[in-house]
């Protein structure tokens, strides 16, 4: 069965970096794109962008350029989200979700807390 | 790009129906038949309930249905049950390989 398993919660100081992983299983990793979605505490879902798992080409939504980087390691069927120069407002749950036009499978979410 | 507009809340008694709207523009909801709906219970990951406007994934009850007219899509939950109480989000393809979510609607079963 299809599964997306994300790395565990992170507590980081402002200015630090964090890398969240999303390991896929149960399907051919390069057959489906991988999206990233942010949900700040008590807030709605925000589409951050997606990465083409075939070509490695990322697409970023407005507001998620510069400090946010999507990457892949296809040898282990894993997608990554790296956030640099962390700010308090980056505190959120980050989800990976399969497919570019609708999101049929989701990871369990990774809570990133940014606090001094 | 701004989020798609949904009402903040909706409610109904068990057995009744509730309809949630999702308003966008001709560049997203109105321009493509790639509207999807997600159910999210507190502390859980979202779950796909409807895709491509009105298609239901396997395992989703047929009490959930979707439609679209112009720039507005709708999700209807018929025969409301206690477990339907959750947050619901719409999403649309917005061209150039980009997506967009709605503002979210909290559904309460009275």
pLDDT tens track for A15-40: 999 999 999 999 999 999 999 999 99
- What pLDDT is attached to residue B2? 84
- What pLDDT is attached to residue A101? 83
Instruction: Dump pLDDT digits (tens) for B82-98.
Output: 999 999 999 999 988 89
- What pLDDT is attached to residue B48? 97
Q: Could you give the angle at the alpha carbon of A92 between the alpha carbons of A101 and B50, nearest 5°?
A: 30
Residue found by looking up tokens 């402002």 in the block: A14
From the candidates B45, B47, B91, B96, which should be mutated to test the interface with A, based on the most A CB atoms within 10 A? B45
Q: How many CB atoms lie within 10 A of CB A16?
A: 13
Between the CA of residue B2 and those of A43, B6, B20, B100, B108, what are the distances in Å? 15, 12, 19, 8, 26
CA distance A24 to A96: 10
What Rg value do the Cα atoms of chain A yield, rounded?
Answer: 13
B54 has a pLDDT exceeding 90: yes
- What pLDDT is attached to residue A87? 97
Of B46, B48, B51, the CB nearest to A45: B46
Q: Which two tokens stand for residue A49?
A: 């962008």
Rounded to the nearest integer, the mean pLDDT of chain A is: 96
Residue of A nearest to B92 (CA): A101
CA distance B36 to A20: 26
- Which neighbouring-strand residues pair with A83? A18, A68
CB B1 within 8 A of CB B99: no
Of A44, A49, A50, the CB nearest to B104: A44
């Amino acid at each position: 069965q299809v599964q997306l398993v994300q790395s565990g919660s992170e507590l980081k100081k402002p200015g630090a970096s964090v890398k969240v992983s999303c390991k896929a299983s149960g399907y051919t990793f390069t057959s489906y794109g991988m999206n990233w979605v942010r949900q700040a505490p008590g807030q709605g879902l925000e589409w951050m962008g997606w990465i083409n798992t075939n070509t490695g080409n990322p697409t970023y939504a407005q507001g998620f350029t510069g400090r946010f980087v999507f990457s892949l390691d296809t040898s282990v069927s894993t997608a990554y989200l790296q956030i640099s120069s962390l700010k308090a407002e980056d505190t959120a749950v980050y989800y990976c979700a399969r497919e570019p036009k609708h999101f049929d499978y989701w990871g369990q979410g990774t809570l990133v807390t940014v606090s001094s | 790009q701004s989020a798609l507009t949904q009402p903040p809340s909706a409610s109904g008694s068990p057995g009744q129906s509730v309809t949630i709207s999702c308003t966008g523009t001709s560049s997203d909801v109105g321009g493509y038949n790639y509207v999807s709906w997600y159910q999210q219970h507190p502390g859980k990951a979202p779950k796909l309930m409807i895709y491509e406007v009105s298609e239901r994934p396997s395992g989703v009850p047929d009490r959930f249905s979707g439609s679209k007219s112009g720039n507005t899509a709708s999700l209807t939950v018929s025969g409301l049950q206690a477990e339907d109480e959750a947050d619901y989000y719409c999403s649309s393809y917005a061209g150039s390989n980009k997506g967009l979510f709605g503002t979210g609607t909290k559904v309460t079963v009275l």
